[in-house]
């Protein structure tokens, strides 16, 4: 049933992709991440947003406020992976769409008002104030076109406000910079549209509200379509880039892209006390406990002379053998799986914790001469270089 899905209100469907689950309102085409609740069940839902029926201008009985309800279909590009990725692309040219609107003005908003669970309430209050509390629109600050009719045009990556008489540009807003948008409802006539963006000059967050001549849901649907096209374009461009890179690697005499040579290997002759399983991946108390445990349970004659090889990708404990015999790698730990390291209470002792997966952690302990300072510094350098590589990648 395309108009319903399980226990969701009529018109809603639950959509699952590889990374997340969101909810699609089929009639309007808008989406949201929190589970929608039928109006009659809002009091029983833990996700229902408090204060959605409280007006900012006057106290009204709940029965009166139920007729003024903000459609909770908001899209927040910066608070979710889906829309932050949509905003990153810069190449898309969807068809031009125009909507006759009238500016009702704007209200300043705080950053904390846009967090998940509060954005719809905050925009709801803005729509109510600008729609019902300000009777004299011409005296309101921030009204584009002096409250007269204008065209809201969605074209390419921009939301533009155009004067219908002389076609002059009143305002231009990059769609990628819109933080939240939503549709209001007034006696089943969804004629109010609002979006929140930061002013490019003052950097103040503003909620802009418009009265539409046509159902405002059409604007929200068009914005959603633009975001979908941006996402598709981004995925296509990424796939093409990967394909091009793979093809060019087979070209003879192809010069490789220069990469910084940061592979520095340092080697230390140390004594390996052994390994013990620990309960947590981090903490000096864990390190000291493991060191003291192995010191008390083993003697110096039990310790194994090894070479500790430290690179920015791997830590290897190598058991050296005499003659022409090959070296034996006792332990090999990828730096990315090294969760903690430290020098023990005795300055000769050094240990690191390795995450082996499935919540299992191993602590390896060494005895260093004259002290463990050089070994600790080398491991720290390897971790820093690994982190830098992640940033470059």
Q: What would the pLDDT profile of 280-290 be if each residue is shown by its tens digit?
A: 999 999 999 99
DSSP code, position 43: G
pLDDT, averaged across the chain: 74
The mean pLDDT of 296-308, rounded to a whole number, is 90
Residue 198, SS3 per DSSP:
strand
**pLDDT at residue 387 in the model:** 76
CATH number of 266-392: 2.30.29.30
Token representation of residue 45: 């839902």
**pLDDT at residue 279 in the model:** 92
The domain made up of 12-38+51-237 has a fold known as: PH-domain like (2.30.29)
Angle between helices 217-248 and 81-88 (to 10 degrees): 70
- pLDDT tens, position by position, 70-83: 333 344 443 333 33
How does residue 340 score in pLDDT terms, banded at 50, 70 and 90?
very high
Ranked by mean pLDDT, which of 219-233, 266-280, 319-333 comes out on top? 266-280
**pLDDT at residue 364 in the model:** 95
Alpha carbon of 370 to those of 186, 349, 388: distances in Å? 79, 10, 30
Ranked by mean pLDDT, which of 57-61, 172-176, 179-183, 305-309 comes out on top? 305-309
Whether 12-38+51-237 and 266-392 share one fold: the answer is: yes
- pLDDT tens, position by position, 28-84: 666 777 788 776 554 443 333 333 333 333 333 322 222 223 333 344 443 333 333
- pLDDT tens, position by position, 203-258: 899 999 998 888 888 888 888 888 778 778 878 888 888 776 665 555 554 444 44
Instruction: Give CA–CA dist 369/271, Å, rounded.
Output: 9
Give me the count of residues in the chain: 393
Instruction: Give CA–CA dist 316/217, Å, rounded.
Output: 61
**pLDDT at residue 63 in the model:** 27
**pLDDT at residue 127 in the model:** 85
Residue 108 pLDDT more than 60? yes
Phi, psi (deg, nearest 5) at residue 48: -65, 135
Token representation of residue 366: 């060494």
Q: Where are the domains of the chain?
A: 12-38+51-237, 266-392
Token representation of residue 180: 């939240």
Instruction: Give CA–CA dist 6/177, Å, rounded.
Output: 35
The mean pLDDT of 350-369, rounded to a whole number, is 92
* pTM greater than 0.85 (yes/no): no
How does residue 323 score in pLDDT terms, banded at 50, 70 and 90?
low
Helices (H), the chain: 62-65, 81-88, 119-128, 217-248, 284-297, 373-392
**pLDDT at residue 152 in the model:** 92
């Amino acid at each position: 049933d395309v108009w319903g899905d399980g226990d969701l209100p009529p018109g809603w469907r639950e959509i699952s992709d590889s990374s997340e689950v969101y909810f699609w309102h089929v009639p309007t085409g808008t989406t949201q991440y929190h589970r929608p609740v039928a109006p009659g069940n809002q009091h029983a839902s833990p996700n229902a947003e408090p204060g959605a029926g409280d007006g900012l201008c006057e106290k009204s009985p709940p029965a009166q406020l139920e007729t003024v309800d903000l459609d909770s279909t908001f899209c927040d590009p910066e608070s979710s992976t889906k829309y932050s990725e949509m905003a990153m692309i810069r190449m898309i040219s969807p068809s031009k769409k125009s909507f006759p609107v009238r500016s009702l003005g704007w209200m300043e908003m705080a950053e904390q008002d846009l967090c998940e669970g509060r954005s719809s309430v905050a925009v709801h209050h803005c729509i109510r104030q600008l729609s019902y509390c300000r009777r004299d629109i011409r005296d309101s600050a921030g009204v584009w076109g002096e409250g007269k009719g204008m065209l809201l045009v969605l074209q390419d990556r921009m939301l533009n406000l155009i004067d219908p008489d002389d076609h002059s540009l009143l305002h231009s807003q990059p769609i990628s910079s819109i933080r939240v948008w939503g549709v209001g409802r007034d006696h089943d006539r969804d004629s109010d549209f609002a979006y929140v963006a930061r002013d490019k000059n003052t950097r103040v967050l503003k909620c802009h509200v418009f009265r539409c001549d046509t159902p405002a849901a059409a604007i929200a649907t068009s914005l959603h379509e633009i975001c979908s096209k941006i996402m598709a374009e981004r995925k296509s461009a990424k796939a093409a880039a990967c394909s091009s890179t793979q093809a060019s690697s087979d070209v003879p005499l192809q010069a490789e892209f220069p990469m910084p040579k940061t592979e520095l290997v340092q080697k230390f002759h140390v004594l390996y006390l052994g390994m013990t399983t620990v309960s947590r991946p981090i903490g000096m108390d864990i390190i000291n406990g493991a060191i003291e445990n192995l010191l008390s349970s083993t003697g110096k004659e039990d310790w194994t002379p090894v070479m500790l090889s430290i690179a920015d990708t791997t830590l290897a404990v190598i058991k050296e053998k005499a003659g022409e015999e090959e070296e034996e790698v006792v332990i090999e730990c990828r730096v990315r799986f090294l969760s903690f390291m430290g020098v023990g209470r005795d300055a000769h002792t050094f240990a690191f914790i390795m995450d082996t997966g499935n919540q299992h952690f191993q602590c390896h302990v060494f005895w260093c001469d004259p002290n463990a300072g050089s070994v600790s510094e080398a491991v720290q350098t390897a971790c820093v270089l690994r982190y830098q590589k992640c940033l470059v990648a």
